[in-house]
């Protein structure tokens, strides 16, 4: 099958891009390997997406994005992409058992939670070590848990977990959180959250499940769950050796979301952006789709008519 625009990823950026591309009259395929919604769908409450002053869960907001995008009938293809030939004309996208072509590609593959990289983390993943408080929090009802990190994710995770857990430690390597001020105030005001400042996790311990964490200060915290929230790693494996990336592996784009390869655009958390929010991902998607539409009109349709 051939599409004028292929979008890789159905998170906030990809879904937004699909709306703008479909409304520009282009044929659109969105490739998604798991389920639409991306990282935002795992966020407990979002209270900085304009138009939703009463907070909305990430899951509900992403359902709305999905339903809105589907109204314009893009092709949603639940397949994992193995490789992309960016030099081919048209560009070639290979999944496990199929091949697709596209005039332009929008990379909206997002980012995944970063690992701490400490002893016990991988062994106890899914047995007390989690990267998603909304997904796994309920397994720790009435128990003591630790959230690691000092950003918005860590603060929001801690605030979500206090509703379920007996006590929530927030372990941070500095003496203050870097999360938004309103979140910081709520964390510090909450008696069930105990900050542990200037400490890094050196080991996660436990036989078959998490029994505690050892800190580089020598302290040991007895917890049944560890929620790692120390930032994100870009999902760039399909483009790593092709597109220009920054030092952190994020795709470099210009203001039109154009990458180093003509006709290939990137938007949302996978690109080098100063702010990774739902609103910026959605905005990036709109810009990328409008640039892709321009590219198809100026480069592809023109060639065909010549
Ligand atoms: P982040 O803002 O990059 O924060 C990561 C935190 O983890 C930082 O406090 C960092 O410490 C700490 N950290 C990093 N590596 C570490 C390590 N190896 N050991 C211990 N601590 C480590 O990541 P995030 O909170 O996941 O947020 C990612 C992006 O999504 C951000 O742009 C954020 O604003 C956005 N986001 C927004 C919302 C919202 O607005 N509702 C919610 C969630 C996420 P330092 O402070 O020392 O660097």
pLDDT at 305 over 80: no
Query: ∠ CA(211), CA(215), CA(218), 5° rounding?
Result: 105
Could you tell me the distance, in angstroms and rounded to a whole number, from the CA of residue 250 to the centre of ligand 1?
Answer: 15
Alpha helices by DSSP H, listed for 122-259, are: 133-136, 152-161, 181-189
Rounded to an integer, the average pLDDT of 30-36 is 95
| Ligand 1 neighbour 259 (Cβ under 6 A) | no
Residue nearest to atom 14 of ligand 1 (CA): 230
| Ligand 1 neighbour 173 (Cβ under 6 A) | yes
What is the enclosing helix (H) or strand (E) of 221? strand 220-221
The C-alpha R_g of the chain, in whole angstroms, comes to 21
Provide, rounded to the nearest whole percent, the portion of the chain with pLDDT above 90: 93
* Intra-chain end-to-end CA distance of the chain, in Å: 23
pLDDT score recorded for residue 44: 84
Could you tell me the distance, in angstroms and rounded to a whole number, from the CA of residue 232 to the centre of ligand 1?
Answer: 8
pLDDT at 304 over 80: no
* pLDDT tens-digit series, residues 6-16: 999 999 999 99
pLDDT score recorded for residue 189: 98
Please, which residues have CB within 8 angstroms of residue 191's CB and are 6 or more apart in sequence? none
CB 61 within 8 A of CB 46: yes
Domain ranges of the chain: 2-112+232-305, 115-228
Q: How confident is the model at residue 302 (pLDDT cuts 50, 70, 90)?
A: low
| Ligand 1 neighbour 43 (Cβ under 6 A) | yes
Mean of the per-residue pLDDT values for the chain? 96
* pLDDT tens-digit series, residues 179-213: 999 999 999 999 999 999 999 999 999 999 999 99
- 184-194 b/e with 16+ CB inside 10 Å = b? bebbeeeeebe
* pLDDT tens-digit series, residues 224-279: 999 999 999 999 999 999 999 999 999 999 999 999 999 999 999 999 999 999 99
Please, which residues have CB within 8 angstroms of residue 39's CB and are 6 or more apart in sequence? 11, 110, 111, 112, 232, 269
Give the tokens for residue 22. Answer: 């479909």
Could you tell me the distance, in angstroms and rounded to a whole number, from the CA of residue 257 to the centre of ligand 1?
Answer: 24
Axis-axis angle for helices 181-189, 152-161 (nearest 10): 30
pLDDT score recorded for residue 300: 81
pLDDT at 59 over 90: yes
Please, which residues have CB within 8 angstroms of residue 248's CB and are 6 or more apart in sequence? 234, 272
Q: Which residues are catalytic?
A: 132, 135-136
C-alpha closest to that of 239 among 33, 13, 32, 86: 86
What is the enclosing helix (H) or strand (E) of 225? strand 225-228
Please, which residues have CB within 8 angstroms of residue 297's CB and are 6 or more apart in sequence? none
Instruction: Assign domain 115-228 one CATH number from 3.50.50.60, 3.90.1010.10, 2.102.10.10, 3.40.1080.10.
Output: 3.50.50.60
Alpha helices by DSSP H, listed for 5-85, are: 12-23, 58-70
Same topology, domains 2-112+232-305 and 115-228? Answer is yes
| Ligand 1 neighbour 104 (Cβ under 6 A) | no
Q: How confident is the model at residue 28 (pLDDT cuts 50, 70, 90)?
A: very high
| Ligand 1 neighbour 152 (Cβ under 6 A) | yes
pLDDT score recorded for residue 293: 98
**How does strand 28-31 pair with strand 212-215?**
unpaired
Residue nearest to atom 30 of ligand 1 (CA): 276
Ligand 1 pocket test: pick from 151, 177, 181, 184 the residue with the most ligand atoms within 8 Å of its Cβ. 151
pLDDT at 133 over 90: yes
| Ligand 1 neighbour 57 (Cβ under 6 A) | no
CB 225 within 8 A of CB 166: no
| Ligand 1 neighbour 297 (Cβ under 6 A) | no
Of ligand 1's atoms, which has the minimum distance to the CA of residue 177? 9
**Which CATH code for domain 2-112+232-305?**
3.50.50.60
In DSSP terms, which residues pair with 265 in a beta bridge?
106, 258
Ligand 1 pocket test: pick from 53, 152, 248, 280 the residue with the most ligand atoms within 8 Å of its Cβ. 152
Query: ∠ CA(232), CA(238), CA(240), 5° rounding?
Result: 70
* pLDDT tens-digit series, residues 63-79: 999 999 999 999 999 99
Provide, rounded to the nearest whole percent, the portion of the chain with pLDDT above 70: 98
């Amino acid at each position: 099958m051939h599409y004028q625009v292929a979008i890789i990823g159905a998170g906030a950026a990809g879904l937004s891009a699909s709306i703008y591309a479909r409304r520009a009259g282009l044929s659109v395929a969105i490739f998604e390997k798991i389920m639409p919604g991306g990282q935002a769908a795992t966020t407990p409450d979002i209270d900085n997406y304009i138009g939703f002053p009463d907070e909305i869960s990430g899951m509900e907001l992403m359902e709305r994005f999905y339903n809105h995008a589907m109204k314009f009938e893009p092709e949603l293809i639940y397949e994992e992409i193995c490789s992309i030939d960016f030099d081919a004309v048209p560009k070639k996208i290979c999944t496990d058992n199929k091949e697709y072509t596209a005039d332009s590609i929008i990379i909206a593959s997002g980012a995944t939670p970063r690992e701490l990289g400490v002893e016990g983390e991988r062994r106890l993943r899914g047995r007390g070590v989690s990267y998603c408080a909304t997904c796994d929090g309920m397994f720790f009802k009435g128990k003591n848990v630790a959230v690691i990190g000092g950003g918005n994710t860590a603060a929001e995770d801690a605030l979500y977990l206090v509703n379920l857990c007996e006590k929530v430690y927030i372990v941070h390597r500095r003496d203050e959180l870097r999360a938004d001020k309103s979140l910081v105030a709520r964390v510090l005001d909450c008696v069930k959250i105990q900050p542990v400042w200037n400490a890094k996790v050196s080991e996660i311990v436990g036989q078959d499940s998490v029994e505690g964490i050892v800190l580089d200060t020598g302290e040991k915290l007895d917890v049944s769950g560890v929620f790692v929230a120390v930032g994100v790693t870009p999902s760039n494996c399909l483009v790593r050796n092709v597109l220009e990336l920054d030092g952190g592996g994020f795709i470099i784009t210009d203001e039109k979301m154009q990458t180093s390869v003509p006709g290939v655009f990137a938007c949302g958390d996978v690109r080098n952006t100063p702010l990774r929010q739902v609103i910026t991902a959605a905005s990036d998607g709109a810009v990328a789709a409008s640039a892709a539409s321009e590219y198809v009109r100026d480069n592809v349709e023109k060639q065909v008519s010549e």
